[in-house]
Structure 1
């Protein structure tokens, strides 16, 4: 049943807190990428930059027809380091009517962790059990929790430059996970012999040497959202089946891939497939236990809209949020 114009459900953070489990986020995001793999429209971020005061306004768009949802994600950042706000309008994909307006900040770590888990599930070996995690911030936390859903982890080795941060992170997750979580003194110590490597940093220089990767390793890079951001070196990109969230994004702001192209290590033809194509079975993912794979995630509206639709359905079932009225354009223009 298409949603009719008029009532819009506003879902603030207090309505969204605890509304869905990490497993439900992963399932919704996987379905979103499956749709993308069979042709659902999505565009990478558009960012407009302001010089004084310095800051940027960013937006994303996606349509997921089978889920019945379309929408975007918009936020401002910078501007004197004031806090950011994320807004997420959700529309019905059949009628075009707006059905919800979500506080986007609340879902950000969950949907981003979920897309990382979908990438691991699509590309890592099924028996992968050792994880190297580079980074110990909020993004690293979300990635570790979500990855533990899709793989049975035995050992996690975490590295970040500040000793106190990585040790506190390891101590916390040793209590939360069945896996042994240990802080290590270098990225090399974490990466060597790892089955899965996840980078969750703001780095502008590679955070490990690609020659250290063992055959069969999967790498997920979460900090690739600007042409100058570079977590992975050209060696890693060259050795791997390179899978971005969106092909067009890889050619516009995926720093590691763009800089590897500049160095002559790869060309545009070395983009193996989009994640959605692998999830949908349109392109095989890992073809051998020896393959090195990379999932390059810079953020799209695919995971955002998929997660928002899942949350909206749960909120309707539980009658959460507040109803607001948005006038259709015909009424707004005529004053009727």
Structure 2
């Protein structure tokens, strides 16, 4: 039996657009069966997520992700640590074990970038990012990859020094990048707004959104977490990567539905349907919103891509 390939995702080099296209192809080929298990530490914000997916005739695998939101703030390393195991679809033998913090960051950013490519205006010029944690830099790079028309990036964070540090660390030719202290002003002038926080209270207000804005919500993955208020949900045309996880388990949807701001049927399409040709943005003035809720099928598509890339390198 061939040895199990140990892959360090942090050591892989590739164009972000390559991974976005792998996700697009993966959704066109069918996402198969997906399950999720969430364990939460009582009295603390820490959690363990298990994502499992099976694409018959293609692959099967699982990701374990330990989410400790306070790590970065106290200098204890990244907030998310993960390990992915990829199995052969024919006989179930393990093919690869993938580690490295960039795995989840790349998967998450590629998911949002594919959503933005399908929904944001082609001429989007200004990006506002709410949140300056570990995911934010990857999010910016992937969104810029699918919208090279962007020429200005504004970064807001509750702790201004983190926004300053991220802006200083990013050096992208021809693009103005800076930290801002006023989230409302940033959102009002943005064509794309990406929220990458672990907030339980909305950081994005619907009253701030201007016609034509595309909203990318990333941070929430429990009913208690929420980055956008009910007005943002009500005003936007709603899209998700997966209905099952976004509508049933993410606070933007669960809380807005409970308050009567939206209904589950207001979700127009999920990512696989958009990739298959479902109608996305209908006009330049329409507000679109994409909820990046995650899913084992996304991890599986990325794991297969990384396995093929690492196998070629070896």
Deviant stretches of 4+, over 4 Å: 50-55, 80-85
From 269, 289, 301, give the equivalent of 1:306. 301
Conservation of the 8 A alpha-carbon contact between 1:225 and 1:254: yes
How far does residue 33 in structure 1 lie from its aligned partner after superposition?
2.7
Q: Is the 8 A contact 2:131 2:155 kept in 1?
A: yes
Write the mapping of 1:124-139 to structure 2, written as runs, cut at 5 A: 124-139=120-135
Distance change (3 Å), C-alpha of 1:212 and 1:16: closer
Paired residues, number: 307
Q: How far apart, CA to CA, are the structure 1 residues paired with 2:304 and 2:62?
A: 12
CA contact (8 A) 2:217 2:290 kept: yes
Equivalent in the alignment of 1:41: 32
SS of residue matched to 1:251: helix
Within 2, Cα distance between the matches of 1:168 and 1:307? 29
Is contact 1:44-1:248 (8 Å) kept? no
- 1:105 maps to what in 2? 101
User: Which of the numbers 281, 286, 290 marks the counterpart of 1:286?
Assistant: 281
Give unpaired runs (5+ residues) of structure 2: none
Cα distance, 1:17 vs structure 2: 0.6
Q: How far has the Cα of 1:141 moved from its partner?
A: 0.8
The corresponding residue for 1:323 is none
Question: What is aligned with 1:32?
Answer: 26
TM superposition shift of 1:267: 1.0
Listed as ranges, the gaps of 5+ residues in structure 1 are 1-5, 320-336
Shift in CA distance, 196/85, structure 1 to aligned 2, threshold 3 Å: closer
Distance 1:160 1:49, change over 3 A: closer
- SS of the counterpart of 2:107? helix
**What does 1:195-274 correspond to in 2, within 5 Å?**
195-274=191-270
Q: Deviations over 1:152-195 (max 9, x none)?
A: 2111111112222222222222x224311122211101100311
Counterparts of 2:106 and 2:300, CA distance in 1: 13
Measure, in 2, the Cα distance between the counterparts of 1:31 and 1:91: 20
Q: CA separation in 2, counterparts of 1:103 and 1:304?
A: 12
Q: Does the Cα contact within 8 Å between 2:240 and 2:290 map onto a contact in 1? A: yes
Q: Distance in 1 between matches of 2:88 and 2:169?
A: 41
SS class of match (2:249): coil
Alignment of structure 1 residues 89-100 onto 2, 5 Å: 89-100=85-96
Query: Based on CA coordinates, which of the two structures has the bigger radius of gyration?
Result: 1
- Return 250-259 or 191-200, whichever deviates more: 250-259
User: How many angstroms apart in 2 are the aligned matches of 1:201 and 1:50?
Assistant: 19
Structure 1 SS opposite 2:198: coil
Query: Secondary structure of 1:161's match?
Result: coil
Counterparts in 2 of 1:53 and 1:284: CA distance versus 1, 3 Å: closer
Q: Deviations 1:103-153 (Å, cap 9, x if unpaired)?
A: 253412112111111111111011111111111111111110100100021
Does the alignment pair 1:72 with 2:62? yes
Q: Which has the higher contact order (CA 8 A, sep 6+)?
A: 1
2:53 maps to 62
1:21 aligned partner: 15
> Scaled by the length of structure 1, what TM-score is found?
0.83
* Distance of 2:295 and 2:198 partners within structure 1: 18
